[in-house]
Amino acid sequence: MTTGTIGVFDSGVGGLSVLHHIRRMLPYTRLIYVADSAHVPYGDKSAHYIEQRAIALSRFLVGQGADAIVIACNTATAAAAATLRRDFKCPIIGMEPAVKPAVAATKIGVVGVLATIGTLESARFAALLERYAGNVKIVTQGCPGLVEQVESGNLHGIRTRQLVERYTTPLLERGADTLILGCTHYPFLSNLIRDVAGEQVILIDTGEAVARHLQHRITAELPYRAETQATEVFFSSGDCDQARHTISALWGSTVEVQPLPFDFT
């Protein structure tokens, strides 16, 4: 069966980690992905700035026929999800650091969070801790620079490894046996993080849970649309040549990337 058109956006290419899960769970769905790479990273921007970008990108996606929108970015979800749900009639699916499953997974009661500064300082993250942490100790680490490494396609280089070591070591030294990947860019660094942190450390990624929630929402709320073709369409607000190279590598096949229209950049 087909399930309409899903629009997905992120500050850059990180949301592709979520798009992979969406494609696997919804194989007959048309997907539109926007990499807002001219404004990456969102983590060092103000909440108002991110909110305005989220509104513009959502307007674009709805104009392209999106029946539902996935905010494939923890920082943008914290800054803009409430506004988008107020202003748009279609289902809006957001991200959040997976505190609840991480608390369930830890064996010694210490969970580390790797995330952007914007996510860690958000009221939404504070509410998650209050709701789910309980007696589990949560230790956090902002990770400036990691998003940029993924954006450049540098997943295994010396500089990327140095950053991963810098950010994971304090969490491990404080006893964390479970690490939340609190940014959609970070799952692309899972192998490197596991190599640095050790195989015994549990990594928690929320992309699959988000795709499952999306599947439930659209099955319940969207009409059946037999005419929809299962395709992926990619847009970028940044350099399309760079985006094509990086997205093709992360997506696992060669793709074309179209420029985001000027009115939405």
Which of 73, 90, 143, 240 is catalytic? The answer is 73
Query: SS in 3 state form for 108-151?
Result: CCEEEEEECHHHHCCHHHHHHHHHHCCCCEEEEEECCCHHHHHH
pLDDT of residue 156: 93
Supply the pTM of this predicted model. Answer: 0.92
Give the DSSP H or E segment for 22. helix 16-25
- 73 pLDDT higher than 60: yes
Q: What DSSP character marks residue 157?
A: S
> Is residue 45 scored above 80 in pLDDT?
yes
Instruction: Please report, in angstroms and rounded to a whole number, the separation of the first and last CA atoms in the chain.
Output: 34
- Measured CA to CA, the distance from residue 265 to residue 262 in angstroms comes to 5
Q: Does a cis peptide bond (omega within 30 degrees of 0) precede residue 41? A: yes
Known catalytic residue at 73: yes
Q: Which of 90, 143, 183, 240 is catalytic?
A: 183
Instruction: Please give the share of the chain, as a percent, with pLDDT higher than 70.
Output: 97
Range 230-248 average pLDDT: 95
3-class SS of residue 27: coil
Peptide bond into 170 cis (omega under 30): no
Q: Determine whether 183 is an active site residue.
A: yes
The predicted pLDDT at position 8 comes to 98
Predicted local confidence at residue 219, as pLDDT: 87
Q: What's the CATH architecture for 5-95+207-264?
A: 3-Layer(aba) Sandwich (3.40)
Fold classification of 99-204 is Rossmann fold (3.40.50)
Q: Which three-class secondary structure state does DSSP give residue 224?
A: coil
Query: Where exactly does CATH 3.40.50.1860 map onto the chain?
Result: 5-95+207-264, 99-204
* Structure tokens given for 212: 């499952």
Contacts of 250 (CB under 8 A, 6+ apart): 13, 16, 17, 153, 188
List, in order, residues 6 or more apart from 138 with CB less than 8 Å away: 99, 111, 112, 113, 129
Q: Which residues contact 191 (CB under 8 A, 6 or more apart)?
A: none
Q: Which of 113-117, 146-150, 229-233 has the lowest mean pLDDT?
A: 229-233
